[in-house]
Structure 1
């Protein structure tokens, strides 16, 4: 990961909460189409009990973030992973994803799942690099003309 950024877990009582959420919402609006963006409900999503958010801040701005949840003791999901355009290809996405996987692993879940647009090749390649496998293609997942791969990572039962 590039110098100058450290992974931080957003704590509900953090004095920086609103600034960080604001930075993430701006990133959400820029990266994701309106119907896929959590911009309007981000704060609400983060306040759910079994969810977490890790982010990288560089020079006071949110460079990247990953949001994850563990709705049951068996499975977790990566709900969002985004890296600001000028911070891409510097290892932030991979570092965040590895940290999120580790956080989920400590909750003893057996599987982490996610959805990704097959046309987002860098994202698909990153997930595959970290061991995620394509479960299946879900047609019209994002929109009538946009599909998604459902991908998963299983932890070996120990």
Structure 2
């Protein structure tokens, strides 16, 4: 059985950041990648990043932020190809949702390419609803669903 751990990125973990930047560049097209802005994103006080290790190897990560006291956003969720379909994306999503929930926000939002069916299905499984289709969000020929999940006020 694999040894799986979710870790919160500390601000001074340069080696892990470099691994994540490599993964970011590999998974996302250049114009969607945060790789060149990763260090700036992580300096923000209202953002966080969780990463998943499987047997000591980086398998995926999720980045989130809470731009206001009303809502949070999941800005990136990525899993290395060889670790997909094993529940690791689900594990990361659940952990990020819980982190955002601790901020006492009433809504969490994200954007996803409608053609990334496994990702859309994962978000729907965890209560995210499609708000709208944003045409040309990623590029002139790639749209995005804006999805959200509301939390109880109790």
Query: Taking structure 1 as the reference length, what is the TM-score of the superposition?
Result: 0.94
The CA deviation at 1:43 is 1.2
Q: Is the 8 A contact 1:23 1:61 kept in 2?
A: no
Q: Say whether the 8 Å CA contact 2:2–2:55 is kept in structure 1.
A: no
In the superposition, the TM-score normalised over structure 2's length comes to 0.97
What is the match of residue 151 of structure 2?
A: 155
Q: Decide which of 38, 43, 56 is 2:39's aligned counterpart.
A: 43
Counterpart of 1:10?
A: 9
Task: Give aligned pairs, total.
Answer: 154
* Aligned counterparts of 2:152 and 2:71: Cα–Cα separation in 1: 13
Give RMSD over aligned pairs.
1.0
* 5+ residue gaps, structure 1: none
Preserved CA contact (<8 Å) 1:66 1:80: yes
| CA distance in 1: counterparts of 2:48 and 2:119, whole angstroms | 20
The 1-side partners of 2:55 and 2:39 are apart by: 23
Contact 1:77 1:112 in 2 (8 A): yes
Q: Does 1:24 align with 2:23?
A: no
SS at match of 1:94: helix
1 CA distance for matches of 2:77 and 2:130?
17
Rounded Cα–Cα distance in structure 2 between residues aligned with 1:114 and 1:3: 30
Aligned with residue 118 of structure 2, among 122, 130, 136: 122
Cα deviation, residue 112, structure 1:
0.3
Match of residue 144 from structure 1: 140
- 5+ residue gaps, structure 2: none
